[in-house]
Structures are given as structure tokens and as C-alpha cells.
Amino acid sequence: MIEVKELSKLYREGRGIKKISFEVNQGKAFGFLGPNGAGKTTTIRLLMGFLRPDSGQVTINGLDCWEQKTEVKKLVSYLPGELHFVESLTALEFLSLIAGMHRNRFQIKKNQKYLINALDLDSKILIRKMSKGMKQKLGLIAALMLDAKVLILDEPTSGLDPLMQRVFIDLILEEKKRGKTIFMSSHQFPEIERTCEQVGIIREGKLLAIKSILQLREAEYQTFQIEVESDEDLELLKESQLNLIPLQGRSCIIRVAGELDSLWMALGQVQVVRFKQHSLELEEAFLDFYK
Amino acid sequence: MNRALFRAMFKQHRKKIAVISTGIVLYEGLLTWVYPVIAENPAVTEIAVSLPTAVKTVFGVPENARTDTFEAFISGQFFARIWVMLMAVYGIQTANNLLAKMVDDCSIALLLSTPISRSEILSTQAAVLIFLGGILVTVTILGLFFGASRSGITICHDRYVRLGLLGFSFFSLIEIYSLFFSVWFVEEERALTYAAGLTLIFYCLDIVGGLSNKYSWLKKVSLFQLFQPQEVLEGSKNPAGSIVGLNLVSMILWQWAKRVFESQDLAI
């Protein structure tokens, strides 16, 4: 459905993307992960036909995203990374505007009502009086109500509280069940992990790897902070084959990739005073790619 | 043109239009209210006749024009300078708000993500711009008719309608070249600087060209040369040629703007 071949786009200051290639099949979800300034938004702008590629090709359903940008938009729903609206309108007026710029308005209005309820948005408020989270909800409703075949979402959950992030993930999973193709950029590994089958990792404009979520789970690092009873215990841990970073006193950080058997074996030989698992950070999960 | 977008954009600007319209009508009301008092005082006419050419130029009064008529009064006090500047500032700012600002703050991204072509979106924004300008011109002319009739001033309505048409074409061109700069630079500050700068250059050329015979040729290269309200109101100039010329240039610029916008990189 989405095909990107040797795609390059460099801005004057030198940033951009260089020879990126990937494919997203129909009905699949592709997560695009990377730090700030890596090139995620540039790739999305090229998919949306906002920018002309320097070289390479980007197509959606066989249509060139630059040459046939108006045709492409008939298939695509888009949620920008930074949301800005026509501020003098109410949420409902804005949604009517977007509906009025598409065909099939009746179905769009129907979806709109369902999504307003699901995301619990007060649609009569003026947009300029909305909080960031409310604006994010409005953007999501505007994107999902169109029932488009392809969803392009640039950091869709930024600004949403954890409860609404969960609602969003449920909505995306619902869309997937209905056969939608999804391209989603994010900083947050958990939402990509729960919604996407494939992940592309981008850094400094280069696509470092494309992995399936299963492959990543196998390779992912988990980090633990451990404090032991005595200096001897600490020495024993150091002598093990674990990836250990000593901290102050008798504490250390241990990073384990894949299965945790080796960690449990080592800890079985010592007296543990404190054991804390760090939440999985994106940088930890992709540390190998970032080196 | 997309109707939903037109409605939304019109709603965004209608308050500003209402405020400007009210200001224009009130000012016209004031001028038509005081004119009969001024007209009865012969000393005022003498002062007007004795004004030096340079002063007349600054107030937009042609050298060979009469100074004792309502047309001369309303041109000097309103149409030749205040109205022109007000409408020019409005046109430049609104054109900027309708495009460059929306690109700059990325609020156009969601509109461009719909299956409406860039040309159609630009056409809609231009239609809003021209329509709002048209409302202001209509309100100005109708407000003057009302004020004149209330104060018992006899005017030739046809000539004011002609001035309205000339004003509409003149301001539309300023709006279109402002929109063109928005499309060209897709950056609010630069678009605003170039549009305002060009208008100011035209304005200065018109003023400087009228101050001395030595520099009179400067007036000929100024856009403001095409807008001489007193001559139109006194019937000494038929504005048809100027209207056609202004509209022709607007159309050419407009077509060019559409082509530029279609191929413009938009980092939104």
C-alpha cells in the first residue's frame, strides 16, 4: 500500500532524510521510531505531498505522493505532529469544515459522533480555548472520522493523558481490524509495540533498520537497579557475565538483553536488599541502533 | 472553490470586517454632517484655493481640480488617502493571514490533507479575500449615499458607483499581489514585508512625484496613479480603462500564484 524507494530530501541546513526505503502492506501497521530531528516528520511530509522529493519515489496505492497528491488524499487520513487549527472555530465547526472538504459527508458525520463520544470531547468549545490534550483529541477525531484506507499519524498520543492513550490504542486496533493501513511515528515504544507489526528505526535521516516487533522483543534490553547486602555480593555480580554498571555504595545497574535466566542465576548467589526494574525506555530498546 | 472552507474563513474574518465597516460608516457620517457647515463658510474655500501644490498632493487633491465641491472635500478628507491606506493595510494583512500565516503556523496542514487541490484551496482563500474587500467597498459607497442623503447633499450616484468599482479593482490588485508574496515566500514575516514595502514604494512615488515637476515622472510608475478619486467623482476621468487594466494584471498574477503554490515545498 505504501512504498518508499530510495527517498531523499535534504533541507538547506543539511537536515533531512537520505535514501530511505520501506514498504507497508495493506492492512498492516508500521511504526516509525527515532529521536527528535531524525527525519520522521520529513518522511511524513513527503508521504502527504507537502514536500517534493529530491530523489527517489514515494507512492500510496501506486499513486505518486507528489505528482498525484490530490488523488492520494482521497485514500489518506492525516494527523500532524504539531496541531494548529483555525482557532476561531468551535470543535464541531472545524470537524464540519474537514467533512465539507471530503466526499461522503453523511458517513463522516456518523463516525464523528461516535468518536466525539469515545474520546469524550466537548465539541462546542472554541478551539482557541482548548488545552493541548483537547486539541490532540480533536485532531484524532478529524483523522479517524474520515474512514480512510490509510492512516498517517505523526506522534498521535503526545498531549494525551494515559487513560486517553489507552483509548487511542483501542481505536487504532479497531481500525486495524477493519483492514486499515497505518503509518505512525512515535517516541513511545509501548504504543508502537501494541499497535504495529513492523518498526522502522531512523536516526540522522538514515533508516537504520526495519524489524518486526517480535524480533525487537527478543533483542530488547531491560534495565534493573540492584542493591546487595555486602561488598562480596557485589564482587560476585561483577564476576558474572552480566552487563553491569556500578553505582554508589553496593548498588549497580544491570542491563539484560532477551531472556532473563542469566540474571536470576546470578542473583540466586547473592543477598538482594533492593530490586527495581526500570521502565523500558526507547533509547534502551534501540541502544544498539543508536551507537 | 470549496464552500465549507469559504464559510469557515469568512467566519474567521467577519468580526474584523464589521469593525472596519462601522468605522468607515461613522467617519463618513461625520464628514457628511460637517460638510454643509463648511460649505456655507466662504473662508474655507479661500483657504482651499490658496493651498500650495505640495500640500494638495499630500492630501490627494489633483492640481487642476476644484476645491469648493463635496467631491473635492470627500476625496481630500477620505477617499484619496485615508480610505486607500485603510483598505491597503486591510488587504495586505488579510492576504497574509489567509495564507502565509497559516503555512507558518502549520494550520493549513489539515486543510491540505484533504482531497482538495492546492489551487482550489488558494482559489477559496482568494475568493474570501476579494469578497471581504468587496463588502468594505460596498459599505463605503452605501454609507456615503446614506450620509449624503441624510445631510441633504446632492451627489451624482453613478460617479460614486464608478469610484466603487475602481476602488474594488485597485484594492483587489493590492490583495492579489499580497497573496502572491504569501505564496512565493510561504513565510509570514517576509510576505508581509514585501507586500507592505511594495505598497509603500508606490505610495511614496505618488507623493514625491506630485511635489515637484522635476519628479513628476515618478507618479507614472506608481500604482496609485490609477486611483484618482476626485477626478472620477467630478466626472473628468472615465475609470473604465483603469478598471480593465487593474483586473487584467490581477488575473495574470493570480494564475502565476496558483502555479507557484502547486509546486511549492511546504514544511508543514
Q: Is the pLDDT of residue A127 over 90?
A: yes
The reply to whether B262 touches chain A by the CB within 8 Å rule is no
C-beta of residue B159 within 8 angstroms of C-beta of residue B233: yes
Query: What is the reported pLDDT for B59?
Result: 62
Shortest CB distance from B8 goes to which of A51, A80, A86? Answer: A86
B267 CB neighbours in chain A (<8 A) are: 11, 45, 50-51
Q: How far is A74 from chain B (nearest CA, A)?
A: 5
Of B148, B133, B129, the closest CA to residue B21 belongs to B133
The pLDDT confidence band at residue A206, using thresholds 50, 70 and 90, is very high
Query: What is the reported pLDDT for A279?
Result: 58
Helices (H), A102-154: 105-118, 132-144
Mean pLDDT on B71-82 = 89
Please tell me the CATH superfamily of domain A2-213, with its number.
Answer: P-loop containing nucleotide triphosphate hydrolases (3.40.50.300)
DSSP A266: H
The pLDDT confidence band at residue B182, using thresholds 50, 70 and 90, is very high
Mean pLDDT on B198-225 = 86
Q: ipTM beyond 0.85?
A: no
Mean pLDDT on A138-146 = 91
Instruction: Answer whether B110 sits within 8 Å of A88, measured CB to CB.
Output: no
Query: What is the reported pLDDT for B242?
Result: 94
Of A2, A67, A53, the closest CA to residue A28 belongs to A2
C-beta of residue A200 within 8 angstroms of C-beta of residue A32: yes
Locate the domains of chain A by residue range: 2-213, 220-290
Instruction: Answer whether B268 sits within 8 Å of A50, measured CB to CB.
Output: yes
Query: What is the reported pLDDT for A284?
Result: 57
Instruction: Answer whether A89 sits within 8 Å of B12, measured CB to CB.
Output: yes
Q: What is the mean pLDDT of chain A?
A: 87
Q: What is the mean pLDDT of chain B?
A: 90
B118 CB neighbours in chain A (<8 A) are: 69-70
Instruction: Give residue-wise pLDDT tens across range A67-80.
Output: 999 999 999 999 99
Chain A residue with minimum CA distance to B15: A88
Query: What is the reported pLDDT for B177?
Result: 97
Give me the amino acid identity at B267: A
Query: What is the reported pLDDT for A28?
Result: 92
The pLDDT confidence band at residue A190, using thresholds 50, 70 and 90, is confident
B114 CB neighbours in chain A (<8 A) are: 73, 98, 101-102
Instruction: Answer whether A100 sits within 8 Å of B265, measured CB to CB.
Output: no
In angstroms, the CA A245 to CA A268 distance is 19
Instruction: Answer whether A70 sits within 8 Å of B116, measured CB to CB.
Output: yes
Of A83, A12, A23, the closest CA to residue A47 belongs to A23
CATH no. for A220-290 = 3.30.70
Instruction: Give residue-wise pLDDT tens across range A216-247.
Output: 766 667 788 899 999 889 888 888 888 888 88
Instruction: Give residue-wise pLDDT tens across range A77-103.
Output: 999 988 889 888 999 999 999 999 987
Q: Is the pLDDT of residue B116 over 90?
A: yes
Q: How far is A251 from chain B (nearest CA, A)?
A: 47
Query: What is the reported pLDDT for A158?
Result: 79
Shortest CB distance from B267 goes to which of A51, A74, A98? Answer: A51
C-beta of residue A155 within 8 angstroms of C-beta of residue A179: no
Please give the interface size between A and B, counted as residue pairs whose CB atoms are below 8 Å apart.
84
The reply to whether B18 touches chain A by the CB within 8 Å rule is no
The pLDDT confidence band at residue B24, using thresholds 50, 70 and 90, is very high
Percent of chain A with pLDDT over 70: 94
Instruction: Give residue-wise pLDDT tens across range A2-54.
Output: 999 999 999 888 889 999 999 999 999 999 988 888 899 999 999 999 999 99
- Residue A245: which H helix or E strand, with range? strand A243-246
A139 CB neighbours in chain B (<8 A) are: 110
The pLDDT confidence band at residue A285, using thresholds 50, 70 and 90, is low
What cell was used for A277?
A: 526494574
Locate the domains of chain B by residue range: 3-262
Q: Is the pLDDT of residue B52 over 90?
A: no
Q: Is the pLDDT of residue B64 over 80?
A: no
C-beta of residue A136 within 8 angstroms of C-beta of residue A167: no
